[in-house]
Structure 1
Amino acid sequence: MNKHSLLSMKDLSTDDIFSILNDARLFNISYRDWQLPLHKALVANLFFEPSTRTHFSFASAQHQLGCQVEDFNAETSSVQKGETLYDTVKTFEAIGYDALVIRHPKDEYFKYLEGIQIPIINAGDGAGNHPSQCLLDLLTIYDEFNTFKDLNVVIVGDILHSRVAASDKDALDRLGANVVFAGPEQWQREGFPVMDLDEAIEWADVVMMLRIQKERGAALSGGIDYLNRYGLNKERYSRMKEHAIIMHPAPFNRGVEIDGDLVESEKSRIFKQMSNGVLVRKAIMKRAFGFEPFKEEVCK
């Protein structure tokens, strides 16, 4: 596997994380980043699951860096004829693509791609890893608090099926934050410390809500009022710390895991996360092509 691939947050040291965040902060969310000679780089985005934010923020980042970008459609490809993931990816390598961004429903699909030599960026694997989402979450938190050390973070909802929860826990633990989880008992995950939601809301500096991942088998029976039992409603919002922020990897379901009025509330950084996603994915693409980190330091 290419050394510039990004498959999991475990691929990155804390120094690597800060280097990517630093590069992201030095990028613009515009077409003004012409300092990288990537106008001949050919990149393909292979999404085997639906995506809006991840797919199109990667595409935005790639276009803004000057890459030539192609989007793969599994429904009209040889996957429908039985072609394996490895053979699909090997084909892109053989016909001259320089890097691939892949989202796939299989946990750790990248273990089947050991023979691939071009950089692979994991845009999400099953319930396993989502490193680019984690990095944009980290950038959003760092923009707000300028540190991770001793911050209290609660991640709420469908923890069992969430690759975001897994990646964020790995990184935030290493960066010195205090991370706990809350939500329905059947969606808890071994090794993920649990706190009562109402206690956590008052304790947390960062409240990150997750949607119910029905596509991975998550279901609640009995017509439960999820918002009032496990979601961020207006009453819980009123008990958050004055400086605390709300995050959500999206897509969000207004009125389910979060009250619709809170999505764009004063404490919400949900759309800021999306903007940061483009910056982080520019930094990830820069790293994938082997460019050195920018010398100016704005993250330490």
Structure 2
Amino acid sequence: MKVCLLGEGRWGRAAGAILAENGHEPFFAHHTLATWPQAFDLLCLAIPVQHVRQTLLRVAAPPVPVVSLGKGLEIGTGFRVTEIVRDVWGSRPLAALSGPNFAAEILRGLPAATVVASESEELATRVQQLFHNRRFRVYRSSDLVGVEIGGALKNIYGIAGGLCTGLALGENASASLLTRCLAEMTRLGLRLGGRPETFAGLSGLGDLILTARSPQSRNFRLGLSLAQGASLKEALAMAGSVVEGVPTAASVHENPLFGDVKKPVADEIYQILFEGKEIRHSLLDLLEREAAPEGR
């Protein structure tokens, strides 16, 4: 199968390597393209979420299914990537691939697992077969909303994990923080129509653990830099690439669809990033919240 990968970053290259290893024909297109360079059977979007809309507006919609490889929510609309595609190009078969997947490790041939979600069982199975092999296990799901929301929100919580490590709060605090982040992610995801079991899976808990605990994560490194005294501008420069947790925090903050769902961690991250709140004050505010049953 001929697959166009729109975006030539590390994750796009990693996805292309898997496809080539499985005997398919991947090729890359830069996000500044104006026309498609050749015909293809499937399109994978591997560009930063905030660039998706402007990129799609420049080119004609191809008559093929679209798979999102991105993780985030659009500022202004709160849309997931597949929602942006549908908004710009109209109704078409859509899927999202998401999980605890560092591109560098995949390019080195190390084992990993991920999940592909689509409202179309046929498309989910098709994409699963395209990417699945012995070193890259692909599971499938019909919960497109949950898989995309988990992949987006873990970016915010990755920043929180870096802050926790940078403040040297210890392993107990880290484990407690990630547990509460998972509960918060689940609440927010359920509000948008995701299923609870999805957030206990690869695109939820799995990606959260990876992003909020590893220095390979740009979101984690940004939180670490902030905790060590860097400004947001300095931390972004040190990250050296797009840090999706920053725009996603802004998108979650302004998204009315979340209504009155409690999201204290996301709220504190937003205030640190965009309102200049002192990190230790945020920590104290989280610790001083009223005691409540664990499920809340």
TM-score with structure 1 setting the length: 0.32
Pick 1 or 2: higher relative contact order, CA cutoff 8 A, min separation 6: 1
TM-score with structure 2 setting the length: 0.32
**Where is the helix percentage greater, Structure 1 or Structure 2?**
2
